[in-house]
């Protein structure tokens, strides 16, 4: 049987590349695996040799110790791979196919899946709707920052690339289809971005940059990205965004200098629960509701907020007792008074990934360039995590099996 190597969370601030089991068509007991999923048969699954698996900001929340993730959890929910084995119930996906894996695991059979709400599948996580690879409280499906990974419901979940050679040429773009590109696009769509919109994106990390690029694709007139990290703001400017340093002054005033008015049509939160207070420089204290409240204040009446940033129900490192359980001090009255709408939760990746694949393959979107993607070997994952956590304006793409050209 083939060997397998994977990236595992060890303790706050530490990941390691470890030897681990080669996947089988059955869920085994292990770190983070829901007991009700142990022994679950996966005849509908496929085993992939990983082509690319990206480090995500959502992974960083776990690695910082800001979730209830257990030690030795194998990480990785942004997966692109080559099919090397299929279960007996797989009919259409074939060995040798090059595929993108939506980070949300879904069955294709439940009511929510049939309504295209694949981020809240009812059948893959015994505890609550919704699941993902290598993620705390998501059912215990093993992560894909590894040489090999199991994908359940393969015929349903996997997006096959139409041409292998073309896909490998554009693999640094196509690897973003598993999560950050559809997630950013979902943020822009749910914020109501359209032709001529003015858009503010809070956060210049990879998801924020993907949301900004998506807003441009959707026809926005002006896309403004806010952050405190000057390197990441420079990355946003590199593909035509306006930027504001939220630690350097009043946000509405800075928006007014760009737009002539202190508000935007559409607001996108690509920060999440580890947000820091605006207007206080890089050492600002954590204030988990600050981005949501500022977005309500600067989004025009009748507008919408897309919220792809992660919010959790269990945060041991939160600033107060309420926030430890996901309860934040939201100015909901502001939202009500302005008739704002909100969309939260996992992006239903399958709602967008094929269309975005076509945009990439036909040269309409250079997402790898927008997020400054950099391929590194699997053994360099700890360095990638450390540099990303320190604020590098880089999207790290793990190359466990040497598919990615220099």
Provide the domain count of the chain: 2
**Do 377 and 333 reside in the same domain of the chain?**
no
**Do 146 and 79 reside in the same domain of the chain?**
yes
Nearest to 75 by CA among 171, 10, 142: 142
What would the two tokens of residue 210 be? 């993907």
Q: What is the rounded CA–CA span in Å between residue 264 and residue 338?
A: 13
Lowest mean pLDDT among 61-75, 270-284, 346-360: 270-284
Rounded to the nearest 10°, the torsion over CA 25, 31, 35, 39 is: 20
This prediction has a pTM of 0.94
Residue written as tokens 């700890």? Answer: 382
The DSSP annotation for 142-206 comes to PPSSBSEEEESSHHHH-EE-S-HHHHHHTHHHHGGGGTHHHHHHHHHHHTT--TT-EEEEE--SH
Residue 47 lies in a domain: yes
**Do 144 and 199 reside in the same domain of the chain?**
no
Nearest to 160 by CA among 85, 100, 105: 100
**Do 333 and 362 reside in the same domain of the chain?**
no
Lowest mean pLDDT among 121-135, 176-190, 264-278: 264-278
Choice between 326 and 109, residue whose per-residue pLDDT is larger: 109
Instruction: For residues 241-269, give the mean pLDDT.
Output: 96
How big is the CA angle at 325 (ends 319 and 331), to the nearest 5 degrees? 70
**Do 169 and 207 reside in the same domain of the chain?**
no
Residue 262 domain boundaries: 180-343
- All residues at 6 or more sequence positions from 81 whose CB lies less than 8 Å from its CB, including other chains: 48, 49, 50, 51, 98, 99, 101, 144, 149, 151
Burial per residue of 90-121, b for 16 or more beta-carbon CB atoms within 10 angstroms, e otherwise: beebeeebbbbbbbbbbbeebebbeeebbbbb
Residue 367 lies in a domain: yes
pLDDT tens across 204-228, in order? 999 999 999 999 999 999 999 999 9
pLDDT tens across 3-18, in order? 899 999 999 999 999 9
- All residues at 6 or more sequence positions from 208 whose CB lies less than 8 Å from its CB, including other chains: 184, 201, 202, 225, 227, 232, 236, 268, 270, 271
pLDDT tens across 347-392, in order? 999 999 999 999 999 999 999 999 999 999 999 999 999 999 999 9
CATH number assigned to the domain comprising residue 324? 3.40.50.720
Nearest to 192 by CA among 388, 340, 297: 340
Query: Of 343, 361, 380, which closes a domain?
Result: 343
Residue 404 lies in a domain: no
**Do 187 and 335 reside in the same domain of the chain?**
yes
Burial of 284 (0-12, 13-18, 19+ CB in 10 A): middle
CA distances in angstroms from 361 to 33, 166, 173, 325, 366, listed in the order given: 36, 8, 9, 42, 10
**Do 362 and 293 reside in the same domain of the chain?**
no
Residue 250 lies in a domain: yes
Contact assessment for residue 181 and residue 382, using Cβ atoms and an 8 Å cutoff = no
**Do 54 and 164 reside in the same domain of the chain?**
yes
Q: What is the rounded CA–CA span in Å between residue 172 and residue 368?
A: 6
pLDDT tens across 124-176, in order? 999 999 999 999 988 889 999 999 999 999 999 999 999 999 999 999 999 99
**Do 230 and 155 reside in the same domain of the chain?**
no
Examine the pLDDT at 111 and tell me if it is beyond 60: yes
- Inter-helix orientation angle 206-217/230-237, to 10°: 20
Alpha helices (H) along 191-261 = 206-217, 230-237, 251-259
Q: What is the rounded CA–CA span in Å between residue 235 and residue 223?
A: 13
How big is the CA angle at 54 (ends 139 and 194), to the nearest 5 degrees? 90
- For residue 315, the model assigns a pLDDT of 72
Residue written as tokens 């946003």? Answer: 236
């Amino acid at each position: 049987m083939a060997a397998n190597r994977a990236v595992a969370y060890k303790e706050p601030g530490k990941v390691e590349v470890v030897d681990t089991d080669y996947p089988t068509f059955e869920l085994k007991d292990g770190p983070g695996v829901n007991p009700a999923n142990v022994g679950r048969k996966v005849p509908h699954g496929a085993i992939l040799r990983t082509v690319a698996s990206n480090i995500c900001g959502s992974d960083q929340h776990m690695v910082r110790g800001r979730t209830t993730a257990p030690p030795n959890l194998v990480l990785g929910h942004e997966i692109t791979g080559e099919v090397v084995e299929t279960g007996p119930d797989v009919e259409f996906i074939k060995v040798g196919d090059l595929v993108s894996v939506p980070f949300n695991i879904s069955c294709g059979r439940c009511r929510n899946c049939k309504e295209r709400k694949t981020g809240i599948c009812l059948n893959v996580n015994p505890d609550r709707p919704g699941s993902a690879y290598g993620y705390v409280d998501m059912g215990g499906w093993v992560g894909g920052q590894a040489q090999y990974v199991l994908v359940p419901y393969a015929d349903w979940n996997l997006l096959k690339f139409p041409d292998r050679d073309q896909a490998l040429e554009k693999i640094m773009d196509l690897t973003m289809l598993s999560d950050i590109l559809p997630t950013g696009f979902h943020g822009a769509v749910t914020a109501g971005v359209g032709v001529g919109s003015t858009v503010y994106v809070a956060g210049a990390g990879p998801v924020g940059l993907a949301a900004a690029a998506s807003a441009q694709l959707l026809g926005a007139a002006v896309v403004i990205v806010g952050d405190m990290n000057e390197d990441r703001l420079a990355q946003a400017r590199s593909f035509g965004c306006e930027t504001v340093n939220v630690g350097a002054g009043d946000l509405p005033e800075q928006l007014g200098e760009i737009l002539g008015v202190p508000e935007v049509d559409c607001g996108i939160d690509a920060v999440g629960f580890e947000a820091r207070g605006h207007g206080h420089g890089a050492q600002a204290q954590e204030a988990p509701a600050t981005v949501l409240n500022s977005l309500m204040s600067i989004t025009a009446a009748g507008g919408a907020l897309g919220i792809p940033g992660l919010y959790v129900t269990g945060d041991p490192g939160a600033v107060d007792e309420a926030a430890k359980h996901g309860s934040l001090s939201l100015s909901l009255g502001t939202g009500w008074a302005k008739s704002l709408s909100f969309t939260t939760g996992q992006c239903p990746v399958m709602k967008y990934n094929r269309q975005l694949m076509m945009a990439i393959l036909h040269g309409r979107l250079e997402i790898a360039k927008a997020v400054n993607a950099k391929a590194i070997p699997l053994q360099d994952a700890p360095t990638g995590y450390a540099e990303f956590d320190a604020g590098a304006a880089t999207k790290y793409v793990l190359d466990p099996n040497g598919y990615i050209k220099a």
